[in-house]
Amino acid sequence: MRPPPCRVRRPAASPAWHRPTRSYGYCAVALLCWGAGHRELLRHRAGRVTWTGSPTERLSVQRDGEAAVERAAALLGAGFLVAFPTETVYGLGALGLHVAAVQRIFAAKERPASDPLILHVGTVEEVEGLVTRVPDRARLLMATYWPGPLSLVLRRAARVPDCVTAGLDSVAVRMPAHPTALSLLRRVGAPVAAPSANLFSHTSPTTAEHVLADLDGRIEAVLDDGPTPLGVESTVLDLRGDEPVLLRPGGVSHAHLEHILGCTVCGPALVPDSAGFRSPGLLTRHYSPRTPLWLFAGQDAATLARMSRTAAGALGSVGLLLCTEDLPEFTDLNARCFDLGPRAHPEQIAHRLYDGLRTLDGAGVTAILARLVPRGGLGDAINDRLVRAAAGEIQS
């Protein structure tokens, strides 16, 4: 059941860094809303912007160019929630140093407060104000990969709110490579907290349609700039200890990180659901469709034959989320197929993975069958998402 439309007041207290621009922010939002014919959406009343519970506004970059980004920045700057594209997946943005705005992310996503958020920055300099120290390794990685799909976990500065870090002594920071995300962040001029823009534990969004399928009516706007190029989330790397620890495989590969750092990088491991997480977001069940996902591991023909028998024996029709070469094995079946692309092209598979999960999830099938891809590079990130989407269960 959908929750009642949210009524959002702009938070009463602003941190010191935000105060000088506050009244400009209100005026900008009010004027932009007026100009865009959205008077019913926001009412500018006695210094307050009130959300009236309308459906989420869709701002199209392809149609309106920088004007769409400008409006998204004005809404974010006024404390509202705006989903935006990054090179990995769509993020759900809010002012990252503004407690009330950040808390609304958790409410909209139904995300537990124990799962910390990544702060997105538009310049490297912003990181200095968010952490106690920028280690040399972090500087090297920022120079190599930023803007790009690498989130760095560093020791947090006191000004980063507890709700962003889930009370941890660390904070994750990242500069996304998507030109629209960068333009948005630079316009906002402050760190933006942004988890993936999906309901908690559900499949991540790679299009504005995916965002709206989960969050329509719960957030003020989505900045639509088409499908995200990479398709899986950033690599999360913990740089606090003597040895770097890979917390989540993603767009930057383990091997490449070791090559650049010239040292061993620990992990990643599929952490069981128990206390004492190094990264609270590493749950066994995550990225999951609502339809059961039956995941197979073997790369051989026997595994494919077993999958075919399982599909044939299933009640009702099944969904097949497979690489191009695997699909001919299933032509005789009453199955809905989603072609992820050739096995040798993990970048295509990553790009299509979440769309495939969501498409088959909406196709009314009894189960989705998938199998792991070859390991290494982006393959590790794809397999990590598949394993978590299947709640850690591999069919034997």
Interface ranges with ligand TXA (CB under 6 A):
86, 88-89, 91, 115-118, 149, 151, 153, 165, 168, 170-172, 174, 176, 194-196, 233-234, 236, 247-248, 279-282
Closest by CA position to 175, among listed 252, 66, 99, 269: 252
Partner that binds at residue 118, options ligand TXA, Mg ion, none, CB closer than 5 to 8 Å by kind: ligand TXA
Q: How far is the CB of 2 from Mg ion (least distance, A)?
A: 21
Q: How far is the CB of 14 from ligand TXA (least distance, A)?
A: 24
Q: How far is the CB of 164 from ligand TXA (least distance, A)?
A: 8
Q: In the complex with ligand TXA, which residue's Cβ is closer, 172 or 360?
A: 172
Q: In the complex with Mg ion, which residue's Cβ is closer, 156 or 248?
A: 248
How far is the CA of 92 from the CAs of 142, 200, 213, in angstroms? 23, 12, 14
Q: In the complex with ligand TXA, which residue's Cβ is closer, 6 or 271?
A: 271
Q: How far is the CB of 88 from Mg ion (least distance, A)?
A: 10
Distance CA 227, CA 207 (A): 5
Q: How far is the CB of 234 from Mg ion (least distance, A)?
A: 10
Distance CA 240, CA 242 (A): 7
Q: What is the DSSP letter of 202?
A: B
Tell me the site size for Mg ion, rule CB under 5 A.
1
CB under 8 Å to 22, separation ≥6 — which residues? 14
Amino acid at 210: H
Q: 210 near 99, Cβ under 8 Å?
A: no
Distance CA 384, CA 270 (A): 8
How far is the CA of 45 from the CAs of 27, 78, 209, in angstroms? 11, 14, 32
Phi, psi of 9 (to 5 degrees): -100, 145
Q: In the complex with Mg ion, which residue's Cβ is closer, 271 or 314?
A: 271
Burial (Cβ within 10 Å: 0-12, 13-18, ≥19) of residue 65: exposed
Any contact of residue 288 with Mg ion (CB under 5 A)? no
Q: How far is the CB of 81 from ligand TXA (least distance, A)?
A: 13
Q: In the complex with ligand TXA, which residue's Cβ is closer, 166 or 327?
A: 166
Partner that binds at residue 172, options Mg ion, ligand TXA, none, CB closer than 5 to 8 Å by kind: ligand TXA
Amino acid at 355: D
Partner that binds at residue 121, options ligand TXA, Mg ion, none, CB closer than 5 to 8 Å by kind: none
Closest by CA position to 57, among listed 35, 30, 81: 81
Helix axes 208-215, 346-361, angle to 10 degrees: 40
Q: In the complex with ligand TXA, which residue's Cβ is closer, 234 or 288?
A: 234
Query: Any idea which residue has 């295509």 for tokens?
Result: 348
State which of positions 167-196 bind Mg ion (CB under 5 A).
196
Q: 109 near 149, Cβ under 8 Å?
A: no
Q: How far is the CB of 109 from ligand TXA (least distance, A)?
A: 9
Partner that binds at residue 134, options ligand TXA, Mg ion, none, CB closer than 5 to 8 Å by kind: none
Partner that binds at residue 170, options Mg ion, ligand TXA, none, CB closer than 5 to 8 Å by kind: ligand TXA
Position of minimal CB gap to ligand TXA: 281
Distance CA 84, CA 69 (A): 9
Distance CA 85, CA 229 (A): 9
Q: How far is the CB of 196 from ligand TXA (least distance, A)?
A: 4
State which of positions 191-250 bind Mg ion (CB under 5 A).
196
Partner that binds at residue 117, options Mg ion, ligand TXA, none, CB closer than 5 to 8 Å by kind: ligand TXA
Q: How far is the CB of 293 from ligand TXA (least distance, A)?
A: 19
Distance CA 261, CA 102 (A): 33
Residues forming beta bridges with residue 93, ordered by sequence position = 82
Partner that binds at residue 291, options Mg ion, ligand TXA, none, CB closer than 5 to 8 Å by kind: none
Any contact of residue 86 with Mg ion (CB under 5 A)? no
Q: In the complex with ligand TXA, which residue's Cβ is closer, 32 or 266?
A: 266
Distance CA 291, CA 365 (A): 7
Q: Which residues bind Mg ion (CB under 5 A)?
A: 196
